[in-house]
Amino acid sequence: MDRKKIIEIILSQGKYSEEQKEIIKQLEESMLEWEAAKSCFQQVSDAKLIDFAIYREDQAKAKYVYFLSQAKAKGVTLDASYMIEELSSGSKW
């Protein structure tokens, strides 16, 4: 499943303000950064790179937690039912 396409489907619903859309995009980007940082940490073996990987993962996690709190504060919720309908009908894929 293409995560970018899923975000596009969610945002195309028209029920989100521009501010909420930006929070959703930033939340998705920060989640991808966090996943990449975790992957980097698992692959390094040099002590200096391990320190960098830890720093990178902590930074990405902090960014994700920040945008998650912003989403909660702004009342952003994602309705998966729309996405499920689109996936089952195959109209957007």
Q: pLDDT (tens digit, 0 to 9) for every residue of the chain, 93 residues total?
A: 566 776 776 667 667 788 888 888 898 899 889 999 999 889 998 888 899 899 999 999 999 999 999 989 988 886 655 445 445 555 443
Domain positions in the chain: 17-89
Provide the whole-model pTM: 0.68
Q: Give Cα 83 distance to the centre of its chain.
A: 16
C-alpha dihedral over 57, 61, 63, 67, to 10 degrees? 160
